[in-house]
Structure 1
């Protein structure tokens, strides 16, 4: 079962699981991607994780052995303007997943799924200082925006259900992840901006170029989530991150290289946040040790693939 399969990560996960022959149950509520770009052989089921009874009924009917809980209000920028929806979706939605499992286990003691909860590097917040990175899983959780706070709630709820009710779960602390289909992150924003610059002569608009981010490809991320479901230690938290951090200015330079030319660039005040972690970079020694997983895709390959995807989308919508 995948909640939030109408997002970039969940849709790629559904395709990979189906490709390996696994019966996959992707659910979505308000897609953040163009669903037409997903393998048409995959059948999606509408499901609002905030609907307690619907979540319980779905899990009771299908009894999934692996649950990937990715559904979330996942944008820090939106969390500043709508902290209510952010907290409700991320925290209440997680409670509904675990309460459903707990209720079904009361009827069927043999039901014991592994739940991978998509947590976030945003939980570390003020702990992400240059002298403390790459940050390890035992760093203080000091989020700097409502989204980060909601993810701390999700993370600690998962631990509490494991500790109090012995529900198997792992807390996947996901760092910056991107790839084709992504929206509203720096890599996909740059991809679309570069295409507009190429096709329309528009300047490349950007936010803070001085922050540093370790950006992982979605294909590596999906492999990590599956590895945690099958080889992770129940109750534990795991960072999933790329192995090198880059300044956002460097990411923009990589796009110019991929495009084969430079374009005018200018600051967009709308892309500047009230607070921004100077560096986001996580230590992944633990997931490597416990599962054998490691990232394999270079960021330049990711950028090339995102640029190709955005070119294709532009041409399709302007044809």
Structure 2
């Protein structure tokens, strides 16, 4: 019998990839969206338009679907928006998570729950002095999830991916670079301006990330947090150089500054790699796919 997975934030960048991935793997998929559309039509796909801050609606959904797995991707992921409407960000990230895990507890479901964390969240010890409201909401979101595991034995895991890249609608820096480069190419100009080409980041392809989520459902340990990374830190200058190769667009890079930036300690993916997961796509492949995707825009 096919396993059933409920995916929140199903119309988002990662969500769309997750929906297609699990459908292709033979899962029955309950895709939860809000104020958006998901233009997919398959027999095993059930689309639900729902506000996850509505506790009663979430409980009813979970009662009807009875999923084997819950992949919680939905939420507010904008730092600027969190400054403008912090309570809305709290509802989207913290309340929605609480409603999901509490529904699992109240209904006595055996569902495994993976909650997507963020590289921008803070440690719980510094939650009273957060970097910004968004970081606070993500810190509390993952804390609530793990607390429901420890208090009520709800099968919860936290997945903390690094910067996500790949084809699709995204506000990530690589997609933004590709769009700007295409505009530059059309204009006939060839000098690309970047704030600081020396900034370094770790990038994980969204398709490798979704595969990692499935690995957690099958092999992960409840109550644990897993960092999902490529293990390679690259500068924005290198990203642009890669785009120059995959696009065959001979542009120059003008950086306003190249001062070394303080970098957080690299994330470590040993825990999930010990479960048998490995990223399969090279950075060049991911960027080539991003470049090809932006040709459609």
1:35 Cα deviation from its structure 2 partner = 4.5
Matches within 5 A, 1:160-175: 160-175=147-162
1:208 Cα deviation from its structure 2 partner = 3.8
Between stretches 12-21 and 81-90, larger displacement belongs to: 81-90
**Whole-Å Cα distance in 2 between the matches of residues 279 and 201 of structure 1?**
38
Equivalence for 2:8: 3
**Aligned partner (choices 297, 300, 318) of residue 281 of structure 2:** 297
**Whole-Å Cα distance in 1 between the matches of residues 55 and 18 of structure 2?**
24
Unaligned runs of 5+ in 2: 1-5
**Whole-Å Cα distance in 2 between the matches of residues 255 and 197 of structure 1?**
13
Equivalence for 2:212: 224
1:98 Cα deviation from its structure 2 partner = 1.2
Kept after mapping to 2: 8 A contact 1:243/1:295? no
- 1:245-293 CA-to-partner distances (Å, cap 9, x unmatched) read 101121111112211123366679xxxxxxx97357311011111x210
In 2 relative to 1, CA 280–48 (structure 1 residues): closer, same or farther, beyond 3 Å? farther
Equivalence for 2:173: 186
Kept after mapping to 2: 8 A contact 1:213/1:279? no
Q: Secondary structure at the match of 1:26?
A: strand
State the structure with bigger RCO (CA 8 A, min sep 6), 1 or 2.
1
Equivalence for 2:3: none
| C-alpha RMSD of matched pairs (Å) | 2.5
**Aligned partner (choices 274, 289, 292) of residue 308 of structure 1:** 292
**Whole-Å Cα distance in 2 between the matches of residues 99 and 232 of structure 1?**
21
What TM-score, normalized to structure 2? 0.87
**Aligned partner (choices 106, 120, 137) of residue 118 of structure 2:** 120
Equivalence for 1:70: 73
Unaligned runs of 5+ in 1: 106-110, 126-137, 269-275, 314-319
Q: Secondary structure at the match of 1:169?
A: strand
Confirm whether residue 93 of structure 1 aligns to residue 96 of structure 2.
yes
Confirm whether residue 58 of structure 1 aligns to residue 61 of structure 2.
yes
Kept after mapping to 2: 8 A contact 1:175/1:281? no
Kept after mapping to 1: 8 A contact 2:162/2:228? yes
1:221 Cα deviation from its structure 2 partner = 0.1
What is the number of equivalent residue pairs in this alignment?
A: 284
Q: Give 1 or 2: higher strand fraction.
A: 2
Confirm whether residue 16 of structure 1 aligns to residue 1 of structure 2.
no
Matches within 5 A, 1:266-305: 278-279=263-264, 281-289=266-274, 291-305=275-289
1:298 Cα deviation from its structure 2 partner = 0.5
